[in-house]
Amino acid sequence: MEAIPITQTTTLKAIVTKTNWANSPVSSETYTLALPVCQITPASGAYPSAQTCEITNSVSGVTIYYTTNGTTPTSGSPVYSGSFQIGTNTTIKAFATKTDFTDSEVITKEYTRAGMPLLCWQLTGKYSSGRVFVLNGGGEHPKTFDIPKDVETETICLVDEGKEIDKSKYELNIV
């Protein structure tokens, strides 16, 4: 008996026969092929500059849907058509689909822009738990930092996330 190649979702039906014997009941089994998880490069991590991202799948002819905002992609999400660049903190999610296959699982990769600190304050003294420091300025939302209990010294830094920041607009306020 030869192997039966299966290249798409297939239902096989079979019976056993023998001369002078009654045929067996029909046996049926459905085989569904599942797509492998997509691959996203480069690997998750912190990068000091913009990165070119590629999404691939080892099965040809797939359609890859993806998002760059951390939401789970659907068939209404953008279709991957080629490499793209990211330059800020980004979460990419993607999955592949193809007729007669089960969709792949969603893959997630997280990227952080590893910038150099632009503004840092060295805080000295002993602070009790729950003391909060707020960094204001630049027309952005305030940044809040919790200082752990009984800290003798703490450094708070505003890190470049790919934006130009006017240092003169920032100040540290103890709340």
Structure confidence by residue, pLDDT tens digits, 74-122: 999 999 999 999 988 899 999 999 998 999 999 999 998 776 555 566 6
What is the greatest pairwise CA distance in the chain? 97
The reported pTM is 0.58
132 pLDDT above the threshold of 60: no
For residue 8, what are the CA distances in angstroms to 29, 33, 100, 122?
Answer: 14, 6, 5, 63
The answer to whether residues 61 and 68 touch, using CB atoms and an 8 Å cutoff, is no
153 pLDDT above the threshold of 70: no
For domain 33-113, the question of CATH label 2.60.40.10 is answered with: yes
Q: Which residue has the higher pLDDT, 121 or 41?
A: 41
For residue 1, what are the CA distances in angstroms to 18, 100, 156?
Answer: 15, 26, 72
35-46 burial code (b ≥16 CB/10 A, e <16):
beebebeeeeee
The answer to whether residues 65 and 77 touch, using CB atoms and an 8 Å cutoff, is yes
Question: Hey, is 169 helix, strand or coil?
Answer: helix
Report d(CA 157, CA 141) in Å as an integer.
15
Token code pair at residue 146:
């919790």
Token code pair at residue 134:
């707020």
Question: Hey, is 65 helix, strand or coil?
Answer: strand
The answer to whether residues 53 and 40 touch, using CB atoms and an 8 Å cutoff, is yes
Residue 58 CB: number of other CB atoms within 10 A?
11
* Helix H or strand E encompassing 46: strand 45-47
